[in-house]
Amino acid sequence: MADDLNNKMEPEISAASEAAEVVKETAAEKKAKVKTVEAKETKAEAAAVAATAAATAEAAKEAAKDAEEAAKAAKKAEEQAAKEAAKKQAALEKEQEKAKAAKEKAEAKLEKKRQKRAAQQALIDACPPQYRPVSTSKYFWLAFLSAIPVLGFIVTLLLAIAGRNRNVKNFEKAILAYYIIGLIICLIAIIVIGVALPPEIRDNIILSMQKIFGSVSIG
């Protein structure tokens, strides 16, 4: 009876064993599939990480290239600015030197004029009072005074005879010479008119001369 029970139970045990083996195989397959999926995911993640790292490296390379170009541009701009600044500084220094040279030239010219005036003044001061130069304004007023009728002739005569300054005295002598020459010419004209012309014409000329001398002095 025990043998019969064992015989009856053997198929069931075999089936259970087979089912257990199938379950084991299924679990192993599932485990293998999970591992395969995990391996694929890991590989995909690694590929993604590698792609990200490559992109990052490329971006870093581009960034480094851009930074290098920016540094070159900045250096070039700095060099250009330095050249422009040096050029402006040179132009400014040149203008300053030119202005300084012009100023020195003007000062030297002014100093030369001052020295010339000082030398002339020293010569004037060294001259005796009777030989000192006379200014243009003084000559002008002397000539104006000498042109006054009657009074001018008297002033001219006094200064030509008793003037203290030799220059003024010679100037008044020259004017007095003009007066004398004019007087001689007038006398000659009167004699010629009185002798050579007919009485009617002579009387008319004398009358006209009297009118002229009445309005303008012979001095």
Residue 169 lies in a domain: yes
CA distance 208 to 201: 11
Residue 76 lies in a domain: no
CA distance 168 to 141: 11
Q: pLDDT higher for 77 or 12?
A: 77
pTM of the model: 0.42
Report percent pLDDT > 90 for the chain: 15
Residue 32 lies in a domain: no
C-alpha to C-alpha distances, 129 to 11, 167, 171, nearest whole angstrom: 171, 11, 16
Number of compact structural domains in the chain: 1
CA distance 4 to 9: 9
* pLDDT at residue 219 in the model: 43
Residue 7 lies in a domain: no
Residue 92 lies in a domain: no
Residue 193 lies in a domain: yes
**Direct distance between the N- and C-terminal alpha carbons of the chain, in angstroms, rounded to an integer:** 197
Torsion of CA 129, 130, 136, 140, to 10 degrees: 130
CA nearest to 121, candidates 133, 109, 139: 133
Mean pLDDT of the chain: 80
Residue 192 lies in a domain: yes
| 3-state secondary structure (DSSP) of residue 41 | helix
The residues, any chain, with a CB within 8 Å of residue 5's CB and separated by 6 or more, are none
Range from 11-15, 85-89, 107-111 carrying the lowest mean pLDDT: 11-15
- What does the pLDDT look like over 152-189, one tens digit per residue? 889 899 988 888 888 999 999 999 999 899 889 988 88
Query: Which helix (H) or strand (E) element contains residue 1?
Result: none
Confidence tier at 7 by pLDDT (50, 70, 90): low
* pLDDT at residue 27 in the model: 64
Range of the domain at 144: 134-215
CA distance 96 to 101: 8
Residue 86 lies in a domain: no
16 has a pLDDT exceeding 80: no
